[in-house]
Amino acid sequence: MTSKNQSTLAVSTVIFALRPDEASGLMTLWLPLVRRIREPHLGQWALPGGWLPGDEELAAAASRTLRETTGLAPKYLEQLYTFGDLGRSPGNRVVSVVYWALVQSDEAALAAVGENVQWFPADRLPELAFDHNRIVDYALWRLRTKVEYSRIAHAFLGETFTLAQLRDVHEAVLQKPLDPANFRRTVEASGTVVDTGQHLAGARHRPPRLYRYNDSSRLADQGPLGPSIG
Amino acid sequence: MTSKNQSTLAVSTVIFALRPDEASGLMTLWLPLVRRIREPHLGQWALPGGWLPGDEELAAAASRTLRETTGLAPKYLEQLYTFGDLGRSPGNRVVSVVYWALVQSDEAALAAVGENVQWFPADRLPELAFDHNRIVDYALWRLRTKVEYSRIAHAFLGETFTLAQLRDVHEAVLQKPLDPANFRRTVEASGTVVDTGQHLAGARHRPPRLYRYNDSSRLADQGPLGPSIG
DNA sequence: GCAAAAGTGTTGACTTTACACCCATGC
DNA sequence: GCATGGGTGTAAAGTCAACACTTTTGC
């Protein structure tokens, strides 16, 4: 077991959701963490995950462990990186295949929260177990530098959405305001969304159009690797 | 060994070098493959790699296995993706952490070539063992869609180089001709290369300037993860 | 009508692209 | 001189950011 030629394989997931900041009211990124219930790092917060069974696909294992620990089912799931530094865990060396996931805001609200599962704002995290702070930093960087935002934004939203909602998502991820006029033109030109013809009434202003994500436009993303949706 | 909860960990590397195509004389991407000397897939060509020892860093293992099998030492080494599909290997499930590497053209010429190691043009490969064709496709896609070309180009070239050589690299990777005038301006504006003041004489035309790669400009690449150079 | 957000139009700044042209060397 | 690639200049086309302005709803 603790032989020189063995490493243990684990799967972890960084899960992002978008919800309003309690103080400012602005949409910000949050993520759920689980409290360690055994050594090492007992009591500290960590990313949800678990050991990889020999008969389960990597993405399926990521999906399952995060469902078991947090009750969440991701709309978007993609491999992030594999961390395997010798010193990242005391004792036997652990190689972790890490995924990153996005969940819808309303689903995130329903997620199990308790003594051992809690949401934290992505840029104000406590000190996490193992090298998990580093992992979250990298996941945040990937989220923000990802060119293909339409799919990401779609993962945060429902089936239909207004351009203002879509813009909110982009602004929250990029952490800067976007010009509504220019944003509209950019999105329309990209062809990643389709006008449903419907409008959203109720607000005390002109009813905005509802759009739907254009499924036929999701190529040229991961390249030859098909996009994995857990 | 063949327990339900065990997977075997391997490390493989896709190595690229740039060399002139025999027929056209144009620079194209080539990669070395090793012949399988045992089952499964005995006799087929495969990516260099090996099992991961429990006491070796991932990047170090990638570096070592490709040195042992091909004699090459990469100037650029980066993690590509982790492949772990259940059906990718007969028998026990194998999870492979795959790296991609770039080597200098002149060094590639010195590399061991024999019955069991051979170079192939990247876009005309034979049928490889396991899922290695898929892995190479993905590595090629990553190479071509990588925004940060200067470091990549530098990895293919020597310490000093002319802008024409640098342009050759870019043209080979992107597979399209580039305007020499505009290329020059773009590179000079980027600040990734420095004029050495020296010139390269001997050709029967105006002697081109020699440039050097600017080390202080290599940030904002992998983000929070430091670049690994094996 | 008024406020608020949806949605359209326009202009100037900047970037990219195409190509004309001069420069310095070997033969 | 002539051929060859190095290196410079420049104008048209295209892209992007800022912001004025019109439209449609709830109250």
Last residue of a domain, one of A96, A112, A145: A145
Specify the length of chain A in residues. 230
Confidence band for B97, pLDDT divided at 50, 70 and 90: very high
- B175 backbone φψ class: left, alpha, beta (φ>0; ψ -120 to 50): left
Residue A2 lies in a domain: no
Residue A92 lies in a domain: yes
**Is the same domain home to A170 and A96?**
no
Residue B1 lies in a domain: no
B200-228 pLDDT, tens per residue?
Answer: 998 889 999 999 998 776 655 666 776 55
**Is the same domain home to B158 and B115?**
no
**Is the same domain home to A131 and A163?**
no
**Is the same domain home to A163 and A135?**
no
Stretch B87-109: mean pLDDT: 89
Backbone Cα Rg of chain B:
19
Residue A230 lies in a domain: no
Of B108 and A195, the one with more pLDDT: A195
Q: Which residues of A touch B57 (CB under 8 A)?
A: 84-86
Residue B46 lies in a domain: yes
Q: What is the pLDDT of residue B93?
A: 94
A18-34 pLDDT, tens per residue?
Answer: 988 777 777 889 999 99
Domain that holds residue B205: 149-217
**Is the same domain home to A213 and A153?**
yes
Q: What is the pLDDT of residue A2?
A: 42
Stretch B173-182: mean pLDDT: 93
Rounded Cα distance, A93 and A89, in Å: 6
Rounded Cα distance, B215 and B220, in Å: 13
The secondary structure of A49-105, three-state, reads EEECCCCCCHHHHHHHHHHHHHCCCCCEEEEEEEECCHHHCCCCCEEEEEEEEECCH
CA nearest to A69, candidates A88, A91, A49? A49
Q: Which two tokens stand for residue B26?
A: 């144009």
Token match 């094996």: residue? B230
**Is the same domain home to B86 and B158?**
no
Residue A159 lies in a domain: yes
CA nearest to B46, candidates B70, B25, B64, B26? B70
**Is the same domain home to B78 and B141?**
yes
Nearest to A52 among B7, B141, B145 (CB): B7
**Is the same domain home to A191 and A90?**
no
Last residue of a domain, one of B92, B121, B145: B145
A165-199 pLDDT, tens per residue?
Answer: 999 999 999 989 999 999 999 999 888 899 999 99
Q: Which residues of B touch A134 (CB under 8 A)?
A: 224-225
Q: Is the predicted pLDDT of residue B147 greater than 80, yes or no?
A: no
Q: What is the DSSP letter of B90?
A: S
Cis peptide before A40 (omega within 30 of 0): yes
Give me the A residues in range 150-209 that sit within 7 A (CB) of strand D: 179, 181-182, 199, 201-207
Residue A227 lies in a domain: no
Rounded Cα distance, B220 and B148, in Å: 9
**Is the same domain home to A18 and A91?**
yes
Shortest alpha-carbon distance between residue A137 and chain B (Å): 7
Nearest to B86 among A55, A92, A223 (CB): A55
Instruction: Tell if the CB–CB gap between A54 and B4 is shorter than 8 Å.
Output: yes
Residue A125 lies in a domain: yes
Rounded Cα distance, B94 and B86, in Å: 8
Q: What is the pLDDT of residue A148?
A: 67
Q: What is the pLDDT of residue A98?
A: 98
Tell me if A77 sits within 8 A of A166, measured CB to CB.
no
Q: What is the pLDDT of residue A3?
A: 46
Rounded Cα distance, A65 and B121, in Å: 42
Last residue of a domain, one of A93, A119, A145: A145
> Chain A residues contacting B, CB < 8 Å?
3-7, 9, 51-58, 79, 81-82, 84-86, 92-93, 95, 97, 134, 137-138, 141-142, 145, 223-225
Task: Count Cβ atoms below 10 Å from residue A12 Cβ, excluding itself.
Answer: 23
Q: Could you give the number of structural domains in chain B?
A: 2
The CATH number of the domain where B154 resides is what? 1.10.10.10
Please list the rounded mean pLDDT of every run of 10 residues in chain A (230 residues).
68 93 81 93 96 96 91 92 95 95 80 84 94 96 77 87 94 92 93 92 91 75 63
**Is the same domain home to B90 and B156?**
no
Which nucleotides of chain C does any protein CB come within 7 A of?
Answer: 3-10, 16-20, 23-27
Handedness of CA B218, B222, B225, B230 (dihedral sign): negative
**Is the same domain home to A109 and A156?**
no
Tell me if B85 sits within 8 A of B131, measured CB to CB.
yes
Which nucleotides of chain D does any protein CB come within 7 A of?
Answer: 3-10, 16-20, 23-27
The CATH number of the domain where A69 resides is what? 3.90.79.10
Q: What is the pLDDT of residue A1?
A: 45
**Is the same domain home to B60 and B121?**
yes
